[in-house]
Every structure is written in structure tokens, then in C-alpha cells.
Amino acid sequence: DVYAPLLKGSAKDYSYEEAKEMVLEAVKPLGTEYTDVVKAGLENRWVDVYPNKGKRGGAYSSGTYTSNPYILCNYTGTLDSVSTLAHEMGHSMHSYRTNHAQPVHYANYTMFVAEVASTVNENLLIEQLLQKETDPAQRMALLNQYMEGFKGTIYRQTMFAEFEKEAHAASERGESLTPEFLNQLYLNLVKKYFGEDLVIDDEVQYEWARIPHFYRPFYVYVYATGYSTAVALSEGILHGGQDRVRKYLEFLSMGSSAYPIDELKHAGVDLTTPEPIDIALEKFAKILDDAEETFAKLQQK
């Protein structure tokens, strides 16, 4: 079960007040101008915080050109809820900065860059928590959350994108997209991506049919590119000096005034090269090493 937590009973609960402080602490590397707006948003009813009767699930950031951004949240006190708050505030700050910098016709941004701003905040949060946490069990919970992001967003979404690509290519060749063909294609890809060490249940071949993203063709790849870009950017923000921070904040203000690939180049990431993917996978390797060391300490107790 690739979704099973590595440790039982290690999860902490966080009050919403604690979550707000954690998010504010996490985004401090982006400077006071950014942090002050985040603080104002958290204190001035930008966020619909808790689950409620008749309220839709999940989380979402929305707004208009002339309004503040607003966040739909369903906060439950878990680490994932804190991370979701950071994520949605990343979207909201992207919208806020773009709306204040661009005319209305350039105020929207594409899906290609949308997940970058949100995931940078998630990564800054987890990095800040790991820097402070010394208890091995709690570090393991944080590392598990971090690794899930890489697995679910880079590897799994790339697998989805390859499934889409191969299915459409088969259709263009005039082949019939029967359930049997799609089942076998998906099963082969799961085996390819997860390797021989994982027991692959035969029933996983049907999973493609329950993934709604496939009904919006060639969409899922932006999760993998966005996550890789966000890892590269957050590493630059934390270790690359104020120039990297300045360029990132300028990127958040660009809206659709330039092509997405050029906006990311301005921020310091060139997706026409393998470099950001390499940086992300190198980071994943370091997190895995940290997890193995932390798990070894737990085994000694």
C-alpha cells in the first residue's frame, strides 16, 4: 500500500491559530512585503476556514480583479491541512500581486505557472518545519509528507501524462480504444513506474477510469513541471540570496504579460533544459537519505 503512512500515531494536531503562525514563519524568506500581505489576508477574513453544513469539500482560491482573493478551506488540524493553507495562500498571493501589477487583460495566469506559486509555499513550509524539528518520529512524519509530494506529483502525474499520450497516439493510428487496451496500457505503466519491488494488484488496471483529469486532455503534465519548478525555486529562495527572491516576486507579478516559459526563466528556472528536473530529483534523493537515517534512529529506540 503506497499510501500507508510510514509510522502510526506520529501525526500532530495543529490549531488554526498555530497554522497561521506556521505559514507566516514559512514565507518569511520572501520578505516583509509578501509576508505583510499574507498576514493581512489571514487576519481580515480572506479564508473560510472550517467545514460546515452545505459547504463543498476540498480547498480553492478565487477572486476578481477588483477584489481581494478568497480561500475556501476545510481545516481539520492535520499537517496536510496546514500545508493546504500554505498552498492556497500561494495561489492567492499570485493573484494579489498580478492584479496589483497588471492591467486587467494581463491579470490572469496560465495553469502552467499556477501550481508553481502554491507549491513553493508548501515547500517553504515543510523546509521550515524540518529545520526546527528534532524528534525523530515527528521528523519522519514531515519527511513522509514531503516524499508523498514527489511521488504523487512528479512520478504519478508523469505516468498519467504518458498514459494520455499513448492513448491518443493509438487513436491517431486508427486503433480502437477498447477497455481491454486501456486497462493493459495503464497496468504496464504502473509496473514501469513503480518497479519490481512493489506488488502490483491486477485491479489497478481499472484505475484510469476514475481519474477525471483524463477528460481534460494534456492537462496533468503541468503538475509534474510545476512541482519540479517549485522545488528548484524554493531551493533558490532559501539558498540563492536576495536576487533570487526578487526575481521570484517579479514573476508573481507578471500575470500573462509574457509567455509562461519566459516568466519562469525570469524567475530563474529554464524548463527548456533538464536542470530544474535534475534539481528536484536530487532534492528527492536527499530527502530519502534523511528519511532512512531518521527511520534508523527510530529503530534504535
Residues assigned a catalytic role? 88
Gyration radius (Cα) of the chain, Å: 20
Crossing angle of the two packed helices 32-43 and 79-101, in degrees rounded to 10 = 110
Task: Return d(Cα 103, Cα 126) in angstroms, integer.
Answer: 34
Length of the chain counted residue by residue: 301
Cell numbers standing for residue 285: 534523493
Cα 212 vs. chain centroid, distance in angstroms?
18
